[in-house]
A = this chain, B = another copy of it.
Amino acid sequence: MRTQISETKNRAGETVQIFGWVHTVRDQGSIKFLIIRDVSGLIQVVVTKKQKKASDIAKTLSLESVVKVVGLAKEEKQAPGGVEVVAEEIEVLSAAEPELPIPVVEKTGETELPKRLDWRWIDLRKPENRLIFQAWTSMERAFVDYCGSNNYIEIHSPKLMSAPSESGGELFEVKYFERKAYLAQSPQFYKQMAMASGFEKTFEIGPVFRANPSFTSRHDTEFTGYDIEISFIESHHDVMAEEERIIVAMLSEINKTSGNEIKKVFGREISVPLIPFPKLTLARAKEILKTLNVPSETENDLSPEEERKLGEYINKKESHEFVFVTDYPKEIRPFYHMRHKENGNLTKSFDLLFMGLEITTGAQREHRYDVLLNQAKEKGLHTEPIQFYLNFFKYGCPPHGGFGFGPSRFVMQALGLNNVREVTYLYRGVKRLEP
């Protein structure tokens, strides 16, 4: 019966079986110290000459081999975790080649990122990398539980589409039998369809595809999106309020399951934000940034630099890591964002910044067929390929809104990391399709 390494401390005095990877080997001649690693932690294994067979095996053990160790667990103040196992048997379940392409034990940053990504499965063995995905697992579970507890209906919308869901650019084309299909750039159209279907509240977790040729630390060609859409809202403010509750649920769960370890490993305190989050119109944000002398490229949007500075400003002023920026001008928003009644140039839309990085775009949607059609035409869209979408609004569709949320950016910020590649299981970019 296997004992998890983290449980061994409760089994002192007993013979235990542990399974794991050979993390380090320290050979002191007659005695060898192995550190064995499993998903729960690290433990020291002592191999003495008395156990001839185990000692012979230990002599030839390559780093990262997978072993089974049977031995006596005993308290040992010198050992990490205060417990060690005195080996009686060692069995090699999978021998690693003697030369590792990248080390598992190293100082952060020693091996360059591209090389780490080439050997991603070895890179992920580092306990700090495993922790990222444990935090992700908690975040996603909290999201699913929040929705499950609040009468959401989950959808899995198709990723194969006959027409682009967003603007025409950055689209991957698929050979689909005798015709062409496209990979969904977002579930936008289909989550709105759920509103036309009377699901009232819906969510989706799934991949989104962007044929984006850029190489920044924030971009990839495939990433996971969380999407929400809710009906019978009064305005985009209802959508923001829902997002606040979801973020609180997610950060609470991350904190509960991994907060201590995150603090130890990444030096980040996971703080659960107060509700409501600070909110600013884009116009007001621009005024503030002006007073801070942050250069502006356009009046219509925030540059990454402006987002960072605004995040800092709010954090300083209101001790809050989040800020909603609302009411973007229609020029930079998609045709389906609803516009303000009092000012048709402004949309009922928002972005959410988390520590100065955009993690969400949301809006109330235009649900009135005629208005929507006009807005599409005004944007110069060919309406024929999206007629199937426009039809959703012809046979009764409630007022609704929603948002898309970037979990990788969110985890990146929460853990204080600086590249989405670090929080993506297997990053995909222009030049990277492997492993």
Partner-B contacts on A (CB < 8 A): 2, 19-22, 37-39, 64-66, 93-97, 100-101, 120-122, 124-125, 130, 133-134, 136-138, 140-141, 144-145, 147-148, 151-162, 172-177, 179, 181, 183, 190, 193-194, 196-201, 205-207, 209, 211, 213, 221-222, 224, 232, 367-368, 388-389, 391-399, 425-426, 428, 430, 433-435
User: What CA separation (Å) do A101 and B141 show in the bound complex?
Assistant: 39
CB pair A198–B232 under 8 Å, yes or no, is no
CB pair A434–B93 under 8 Å, yes or no, is no
> What's the least CB distance linking A419 to chain B, in Å?
17
CB pair B396–A65 under 8 Å, yes or no, is yes
CB pair A425–B190 under 8 Å, yes or no, is yes
User: What CA separation (Å) do A72 and B206 show in the bound complex?
Assistant: 43
User: What CA separation (Å) do A206 and B158 show in the bound complex?
Assistant: 11
User: What CA separation (Å) do A162 and B21 show in the bound complex?
Assistant: 29
Find the B residue at minimum CB distance from A127. B198
User: What CA separation (Å) do A179 and B430 show in the bound complex?
Assistant: 10
Q: Do A174 and B177 contact each other (CB < 8 Å), given the known contacts A65-B396, A158-B428, A197-B121?
A: no
> What's the least CB distance linking A58 to chain B, in Å?
15
Contact of A96 among B93, B122, B396 (CB under 8 A): B396
Residues of B with C-beta under 8 A to A196: 121
A130-B153, A137-B147, A172-B175 given. 9 additional CB < 8 A pairs?
A: A39-B200, A94-B393, A96-B396, A121-B193, A125-B198, A134-B153, A172-B176, A173-B175, A388-B435
Q: Do A2 and B133 contact each other (CB < 8 Å), given the known contacts A158-B428, A398-B66?
A: no
